[in-house]
Amino acid sequence: MDTALADRLLPWYREHRRDLSFRRTRDPYAILVAEVLLQRTRIASGLPYFERFMAAFPTVVDLAAAPEERVLKAWEGLGFYGRARNLHRAAKAVVADHGGRIPGTFARLRELPGIGDYTAGAVASIAFGERVPAVDGNAIRVLARVFRLRGDLTRGDARRGLVGIAADLVPPGEPGTFNQALMELGATVCRPRAPRCPECPLRDLCGAFRDGQPERYPEIPPRPPTPVIRVAFALAQRGGNVLLIRRPEGGLLAGLWALPGGEVGGKRDAGAVLRAALSGLGGGARVDGIAGRVEHTFSHRRWEGVVYRVRISGPLGSREDATWAGPADLERLPLVPFHRRFLERLHGPEEH
């Protein structure tokens, strides 16, 4: 095991690390929440969510017992809602299979639903002191530059090689601190653009710095252009209420409440999409003009489309996944954020 990197990194971290609330705890549950919630999220925007989430669900038992709707509400606006649902499922498994105690090894954490290598490594090393790596995007960048690693380090042999290097570097005495230090260096010094090499404790070990080309690493494979998908949604109102449906399992934004509708394409034109979304909810539905436009970019696709005003006639049907939401419901329910913004633009936030 080569200790040169840890010998430089750990003292730097003790002096320079940011004082962040989730680092002040040894509670494995809080560490698990932080690691899931802050993935692919800027710390400044994620921290208020972490604090609200811990206040709402202070223990794994509280989280396991909560209805999914409350969990999604606490996550609303953070994106990547599958992570919230996975964390909820993991909490249930911890209560059902582990007596409410977060398992203390990488291997057993990895068995929890939705917990991947990164999260298992972070929790095992930080909360339980297991000597395993935790390689997030920041750590990948630092290691790619120090060791001049080529190829797509997020998958395949290149990924396995990177994880092997990271595993070898983790010191037995302070694995969690080392993993956090590596990620912190990537977040604050070894940044994607304009890394601050003169301030870096690793510069005398760093191959990319020696070459004078740190930004060449890691190699980012070209991404295909983001497909733009047309969408159509219905704005149906009665009295002061607006019709919402809960988005189905397995799809985008699953479990969140939304205006009825979805993707247009193939044989499904906007009319067909709206008819399917509104089926069983009234005697008939008639489009009554355009209420506005919406757009939203996911990590892998972009939605652009129209919200149609729709009148629903006849006696209202009822569906378990549909509700006529009044202002208090809109406050309480986890709502697709760009639909919430749309409704607020339409009526002003005070009405909803």
Catalytically active residues, by annotation? 35
- Segment interacting with ligand SF4, rule: CB under 6 A, options 129-137, 160-168, 175-183, 194-202: 194-202
**Structural contact between residues 294 and 307, judged by C-beta atoms closer than 8 angstroms:** yes
What is the C-alpha separation between 54 and 34, in angstroms, rounded?
Answer: 9
- Residue among 214 and 282 whose Cβ is closer to ligand SF4: 214
Could you say whether residue 165 binds ligand SF4 (CB under 6 A)? no
Write the binding mask 195 to 224 for ligand SF4: x where contact by CB under 6 A, - elsewhere.
x-x--x-xx--x-xx----x----------
- Residue among 138 and 177 whose Cβ is closer to ligand SF4: 138
- Residue among 141 and 247 whose Cβ is closer to ligand SF4: 141
Q: What is the DSSP letter of 89?
A: H
For the beta carbon of residue 27, count every other beta carbon within 10 angstroms.
17
Could you say whether residue 74 binds ligand SF4 (CB under 6 A)? no
DSSP sequence for 261-326: EEE-BTTB-HHHHHHHHHTTSSSEEEEEEEEEEEEEE-SS-EEEEEEEEEEEESS----TTEEEE-
Selected binder of ligand SF4 within 145, 246, 247, 339 (CB under 6 A): 145
b/e 141-151 (16+ beta carbons within 10 angstroms → b): bbbbbbbbbeb
Q: Which of 96, 98, 25, 88 is nearest to 57 (CA)?
A: 88
Phi, psi angle pair for 272, to nearest 5°:
-65, -40
- Residue among 161 and 327 whose Cβ is closer to ligand SF4: 161
Instruction: Report the residue count for the chain.
Output: 352
- Segment interacting with ligand SF4, rule: CB under 6 A, options 55-63, 83-91, 96-104, 141-149: 141-149
Bridge partners of 268, per DSSP, are: 265
- Residue among 97 and 219 whose Cβ is closer to ligand SF4: 219
Closest approach of Cβ 165 to ligand SF4, in Å?
A: 14
- Segment interacting with ligand SF4, rule: CB under 6 A, options 112-120, 193-201, 285-293, 339-347: 193-201
Residues that bind ligand SF4 (CB under 6 A): 142, 145-146, 189-190, 195, 197, 200, 202-203, 206, 208-209, 214
